[in-house]
Amino acid sequence: MIHLYPKKEFDLPLIAECINPDVFQNETCEKIEQLKIWEGNSQKKLGELFKVEENQTASQPEKTAITIYGDMSKVRKIGACMQNGEIMIQGNVGMHLGEEMKGGKITVHGDAGGWAGSMMKGGVIEIHGNASDYLGAPYRGSSEGMRGGKIIIHGNVGSETGAHIQNGMIKIYGSAGQFAGFRMRKGIIYVQNDCGGRAGACMTEGTIIVGGLLESVLPTFSIEGVRKKAKIEEDEVVESPFYLFLGDLTESGKGRLYVAKEKNPHLRIYERLL
């Protein structure tokens, strides 16, 4: 187990792609301290900014585990492209957490900045706080969204969660902002509480489940019926009636939008179309 402790409060953004179990694997603390990291426009050694300690055990695990302590709100790209191992962050973390992640697990005991899990392909990210905009979404101008893996948020998220998602799962146990599942192609997005407007805009396939209030359903969705429950994954099913809408018809879409019936009495007008 490798432990990282910041030596100061960071005022400038840090680009820290080197904080990655694949990079740390089989390296000594001295080698890890020599890794390059950007602070603003200055390149520095990791050891100049972080105290590095290793917790020696009788039997070392095959996969590297990293624990980071303190406020990492200015630190970006932790765990980018990681394939194995585990990262645990005891505090908030900055943008692009787990970008293009392929495997392993990242756990955050705090909040995460924008683009967490951007273009993710595998592995698990679990955030025990809030996440900002563009969770699991690609950069502006790109359509290469999340392709696999799982993101679990125990708080709220911002806008455009799961934009361009092609596969994988996003579970949010709080509320979500506007445009959840924008241009979604496949995969599952579950929002336990309220969801902002325009959910599923331009989606072609995939499933969005909203367990709380959804102010309105886009007029380019058609109601399919009422379902007694919504299945999130094999061991997680919401036993409550849901309106099922199909769309987005502007894209000849076959996406499924489940909206909790009891939390959305204003959607009863759709029942006369059944």
Given this model, what pLDDT does residue 141 score?
87
Task: Judge contact between 110 and 92, C-beta under 8 A.
Answer: yes
Mean pLDDT over 219-243 rounds to 97
| Per-residue pLDDT at 55 | 85
Is-contact 211 183, C-beta < 8 A? no
DSSP secondary structure, 126-170, as one string: EESS-B-SSTT---TT------S-EEEESS---SSTTTT--S-EE
134-159: average pLDDT? 96
DSSP 112: B
In the chain, what are the domain boundaries? 111-273
The rounded distance, in Å, linking the Cα atoms of 251 and 204 is 6
Nearest to 125 by CA among 110, 139, 140, 138: 110
pLDDT given for residue 9 in this prediction: 95
Model pLDDT, residue 2: 96
Quote the pLDDT of residue 60. 57
pLDDT at 85 exceeding the cut of 60: yes
Q: Is the pLDDT of residue 61 over 90?
A: no
Count Cα neighbours of 105 within 13 Å in the Cβ-side half-sphere: 9
Confidence check: pLDDT of 58 > 80: no
In this prediction, residue 209 carries a pLDDT of 98
Banded pLDDT at 59 (limits 50, 70, 90): low
Tokens of 137: 């979404």
For 205, the token pair is 């396939």
